[in-house]
Chains A and B, each alone.
Chain A
């Protein structure tokens, strides 16, 4: 479970992006966050995934304060999809990108192969395996970033605008995938402008308004 207790966040330049947010992501539950541009959704997502540490209040991932967790340890439990997926791709081919997290852990080659194939297949990336990640379209980058994060089998997923750049078919494929993933007990937070998509999946919908989080 990821729990935020009365969290504030102020950027170094003095911008108050989040004030007094309390929220939880439970296993198997899908939480959607709606809100206008600049209302603090991305900041909240980074706080809950431990990328940013709160200015005051605290965030716990399965009972451990994120201030005491390294990013590497967080990454084993939380998968985070950046709003701009281009920023989380850094290898020279689609295949390498997907298997990177397993390569780093030094897992046996045949197991890596197997898992990578499965991920490439799930995200319709088989034909693109040799492509350079930065030449992909936005929707393809999005799928690649998701595959690269989900290969680690995280307990939680925090997705910042996962439907941006996806066409209708890919969006419904993502829908099905998210529902399936949720059924395996993964807790999710979906940040989205797409009210229909968010409401269609979420058990709980919350709204962010100028840094304040409330139930919609």
Chain B
């Protein structure tokens, strides 16, 4: 479900479709008691960036009516506004989807995927990815602090330079992920992971009424959206 909605979100860019999708995602999140509010407040800080994107889109794409103009250069147009809004909605959908995913414990996700006959190596990978996201955020935050302590004044920098500073966060992040992945693969193999092709499992997950409804609703809305736009 989460995957379906997020892929639709990437595939379509009309604001109306996105708005509908956003509504669906929010409803699901509420149903499963995900920490939406927390996710949203975190997003608030990004609003400035989105506003900037709206302006940039307006300046560089023609079309639509000009809303704000200075010296013949369109600063804000309806197209730009529309695109800006699409970006916000899209990211909203992805963020909320992610918070839905994180309500299930990783063990359940592995089990669920395995019961769908997906090889357990793969489902294990998904679970590990979900488990490590918060850790990655923490690491990136520390690196950002370290950058600033060495005299990088992000608040006074122009966008281009700021972005190139943010790009520096990637190196430690990727290096950290790689070394962790290496250690983990050694440690799981030593505990007998992949020694046999199938794994027996003590846990068994059942589809509840809520899950059936959800799958059905998702299928329905995917079909509806596809018909509506194609």
Q: Are A152 and B145 in contact (CB under 8 A)?
A: no
Q: Are A152 and B150 in contact (CB under 8 A)?
A: yes
Count chain A residues whose beta carbon lies closer than 8 angstroms to a beta carbon of B.
28
Question: What residues on A are CB-neighbors of B176 within 8 Å?
Answer: 86-87
Q: Are A74 and B146 in contact (CB under 8 A)?
A: no
Contact of A100 (CB < 8 Å), options: B139, B145, B150: B150
Q: Are A134 and B172 in contact (CB under 8 A)?
A: yes
Q: Are B143 and A72 in contact (CB under 8 A)?
A: no
Tell whether A187 is near chain B: CB-to-CB under 8 Å.
Answer: no
Q: How far is the CA of A80 from the CA of B146 in the complex (A)?
A: 8
A residues 66-117 in Cβ contact with B at 8 Å: 70-72, 74-76, 78-80, 82, 84, 86-92, 100-101, 104-105
Tell whether A51 is near chain B: CB-to-CB under 8 Å.
Answer: yes
A residues 25-60 in Cβ contact with B at 8 Å: 49, 51
Known: A51-B145, A87-B139. A72 touches B171 (CB 8 A): no
Q: How large is the interface on B (under 10, 10 to 19, 20 to 34, 35 or more residues)?
A: 20 to 34
Q: Are B142 and A82 in contact (CB under 8 A)?
A: yes
Q: Are A87 and B152 in contact (CB under 8 A)?
A: no
Q: Are A71 and B175 in contact (CB under 8 A)?
A: no
Question: What residues on B are CB-neighbors of A76 within 8 Å?
Answer: 151
Question: What residues on A are CB-neighbors of B142 within 8 Å?
Answer: 82, 84, 87-88
Question: What residues on A are CB-neighbors of B143 within 8 Å?
Answer: 87-88, 90
B residues 145-203 in Cβ contact with A at 8 Å: 145-153, 155, 168-169, 171-172, 175-176, 179
Q: Are A72 and B146 in contact (CB under 8 A)?
A: no
B107 → chain A, closest Cβ, in Å? 21
A70 → chain B, closest Cβ, in Å? 7
Nearest opposing residue in chain A for B150, CB measure: A101
Question: What residues on A are CB-neighbors of B145 within 8 Å?
Answer: 51, 71
Nearest opposing residue in chain A for B179, CB measure: A134
Known: A82-B142, A86-B176, A87-B142. A71 touches B171 (CB 8 A): no
B102 → chain A, closest Cβ, in Å? 14
Q: Are A152 and B151 in contact (CB under 8 A)?
A: yes
Q: How far is the CA of A86 from the CA of B147 in the complex (A)?
A: 13
Q: How far is the CA of A100 from the CA of B150 in the complex (A)?
A: 8
What are the 9 tightest A-B residue pairs by CB atom distance, in nearest-first order? Answer: A75-B149, A71-B148, A88-B146, A134-B175, A87-B142, A72-B153, A101-B150, A104-B151, A90-B168
Complex A-B: 18 CB contacts under 8 Å:
A49-B149, A70-B153, A74-B149, A75-B148, A75-B149, A75-B150, A75-B151, A76-B151, A80-B149, A84-B142, A86-B176, A87-B142, A87-B172, A87-B176, A90-B147, A91-B168, A104-B150, A149-B150
